Structure formats: structure tokens, C-alpha cells
Structure 1
Amino acid sequence: MKDAIYLVLDMMNDLVHADGPNGKGAYGEQVRSRRVLENTRVALDKARAAGLPVGFVRVGFSADYRECPPSSPIFSGARKNGIFKLGTWGTEVHPDLGQQTSDFDIVKHRVSPFYSTSLEAILRAHGIRTIYCSGISTNAVVQATVREGHDRDYEMVVLEDGCCGLSDEEHDNAIKGLQRFCRITTSQDVVFG
């Protein structure tokens, strides 16, 4: 049994697909210019080859948005724009990433994948001690995952080239802020295990 997992964070059609609402804006531009999808697929293939379990973390809400906090600045746009509805194309993992039925599917209703999800139970059940992660955005879900994982005594590793923010500056600032809590590597340099 491996004691590590690779978590792919919020790489859903609504956020990263060229035909998705955010894929047509700043996120889409960053995903394409930084080759986030391609880099993530390289990392996924390496993780699978090393025998690591893979987990896809997705943000999503019921059709009536009952779990969506009405006063949240980050999620208030979801209800208004009709995005992040579970069971729709928008909350599916981008098809280029090759999600498999054996992968863990962790659905969250907040920024952190630890908050009120199955993640902690999965990690404990499989004896996970190291969490490799990447996704978008660097300054939201990636930061939340690293900081909370660190405080729960997991070794945290970020694959920087599988992440992006709304701008290069936003991404770079987030990575600088994370260096105290994790190891930073890339999809090319990572050695899973």
C-alpha cells in the first residue's frame, strides 16, 4: 500500500474547459498559457504508473444551491450564473484528464476539500501520509488544501505547473506564500512515492 495520494483540485469543466464559463475568461487563458491540463495529465500518468491512488476534488451544489452559502463572496456568483451544479457537464472533471472509476471523487461545498467531505476518512482508511496536489486556483483551493493538510500533519507537495490563478502575479504570490508549508515541484520533476 502506498502512503501517498495525488489530489487534482477543481479541474472541472465550469472552470477549465475552453467551452466552460470560466474557460472563456482569465482562468481559461491561464490554463492554456501555463499548459495546466497537459501538465496535470503528465502528473496523473506518473502517479498511476507509481501505483498512487488519485482523487479528484470538485466543488458543487444541488440544483437549488441549498449548500451554497448566500453571503460568500467567492460562491455567490455560482447561484447567480447557474454554475457548479452537481450532475451537470460543468461539474464533471475535464475529459483530457482521464478520470477513472477507481479514482476517489471528493465533492466539496466550500473552498477547503477537508471541510465536511469524505477526504479525511479516505486518507485515514488508506494510511496516507503525503498529499501531492495541483489545481485551480492556486490562491484558493490549493492554498486551503496545503494549509489545512499541513495542520493535520500531512506532508504536502504542490505541483506548481499544474496550478494557476487569474493572473501570473496571483499565482506567483500564492506559491510564495505556500513555500513555508509544503514542498514545491513540477509535473516533470516530481517523483511519486
Structure 2
Amino acid sequence: MRSESRNTALLVMDLQNGIVSRFTDKQEVLLPLKQAIEAARSHDIPVLYVRVAFREGYQEVSPNNKAFSAVAKFGGMTESDEATQIHSIVQPQPGELIVTKRRVSAFAGSDLEVILRASGIDTLVLTGIATSGVVLSTLREAADKDFALKVLSDACLDADPEVHRVLMEKVFPRQADVMTAGAWIESLNRHQP
């Protein structure tokens, strides 16, 4: 049996200030995610942070893109903007990579796939905000790229609890193993040499 830590990465997606700020009880809702990050680190599983941000001037934003053209029109969400920095509750440690994407999927406009392939990663554990945004888009694209996938249901958040439930119970299981952060951590501890 191969060690999970040798070919797995934990993706922490869109846990940036401007997105996390939409939730009132950050400590409570981010606890499963924080526990998953700590478990990954203790099992030598790389933790990769993904954020959405744009260059000053928004050269990457097409007027045809409904969501992001509004951002370009009203400003904010640039690479240096406080809203695009990783939230302090889940702050990266030195040496942990932050990947900047330009669209909803973690792969769109980023070098994520190059990093994963160069590191021999073939299994992704997905976490993030929002379930119906970055998690859904990344899951679909990662499945098409033949990554094995796990989704930590309580380490993903969505403003609409019903959408979150439907995705976790009916959509994601077609392409990923869906489990809680606690179940994933327990599986890591069981397979520890």
C-alpha cells in the first residue's frame, strides 16, 4: 500500500479575507478546515492555498465575464488588495505555496496543474468557499484531468445550505469520495506507519 502523503495534496481554496468575511462565526465554521490543515501538515501532506486575484488594471477580465467584469468595474480583488490575502485563521506556514487563479476553478489561469504534476501529486483533497463555486468548478476540472478526489464536506462552505447539501449528497459522489474532515483525519491516523 502506498503512503497517502506521498501523492496527495490538500487544497485550501478561496479562504481569503474578502470571502471569509461573509461568514459571522469564522472560528466555528472554519474549525474543520483548520483541523484538516493541521492533520495534513502532521502527515507531511502538502497544503496548497488557492486564491482568486487580478493584476492592477484587470487585464485578465473580459467584459463578457459577468461576475468578474463587475469586480473590474468597481475595483478591488487585485493581487495586493487585503481582500485577496489568505485569512489569518488558516494562514499558510513558510514554504506552503499560494496559487493565484484568475477564474472560479483553481486550475483556471493558474500554475496549479504544473505544480501538482511536478510534485507527483495524483490525489486532491478539496476544501474551500464556496461549495457551488471554487469547489464545484475545481472538482469537475480535476476529475477531467484524472486526479483522484476527496471532498471534505464540513470543510467546504456555501451561502446556500441547500445547494451545499445537494452538491455533497448527489453531485460530488459521482466523481469524488465525500467525507467529513474528521473521517479523513481518522483514515490518515489509521494508515500511519
TM-score range, shorter chain: 0.7 to 0.9
* 5+ long unaligned stretches in structure 2: none
Contact kept, 8 Å, 1:34 with 1:164, in 2: the verdict is no
Counterpart in the other structure of 2:93: 100
The equivalences for 1:1-193 within 5 A come to 2-17=6-21, 23=22, 28-29=23-24, 32=25, 35-175=28-168, 176-190=170-184, 191-192=187-188
Cα distance in 1, alignment partners of residues 29 and 55 from structure 2? 28
Q: Could you say which structure has the higher helix fraction? A: 2
Question: TM-score normalised to the size of structure 2?
Answer: 0.87
Contact kept, 8 Å, 1:14 with 1:83, in 2: the verdict is no
The root-mean-square deviation of aligned C-alpha atoms, in Å, is 1.8
Q: Which of structures 1 and 2 has the bigger CA Rg?
A: 2
SS at match of 2:127: strand
Following superposition, the deviation at residue 108 of structure 1 comes to 0.5
- State the number of aligned residues: 182
Following superposition, the deviation at residue 33 of structure 1 comes to 8.1
Moved over 6 A (4+): none
Change in CA separation of 1:148 and 1:80 when aligned onto 2, cut-off 3 Å: same
SS at match of 1:189: helix
SS at match of 2:57: coil
Task: Give the letter for the 1:6 counterpart.
Answer: L
Cα distance in 2, alignment partners of residues 76 and 171 from structure 1? 26
Cα distance in 1, alignment partners of residues 147 and 117 from structure 2? 11
Contact kept, 8 Å, 1:5 with 1:128, in 2: the verdict is yes
Contact kept, 8 Å, 2:27 with 2:89, in 1: the verdict is no
Cα distance in 2, alignment partners of residues 143 and 7 from structure 1? 13
1:75-131 deviation per Cα after TM superposition (whole angstroms, max 9, x unaligned) = 233224423111121111000102112112110001111123111111111110110
1:22-76 deviation per Cα after TM superposition (whole angstroms, max 9, x unaligned) = x2xxxx25xx389432111110000000100110000001122111222222223
Cα distance in 2, alignment partners of residues 184 and 8 from structure 1? 16
Change in CA separation of 1:33 and 1:76 when aligned onto 2, cut-off 3 Å: same
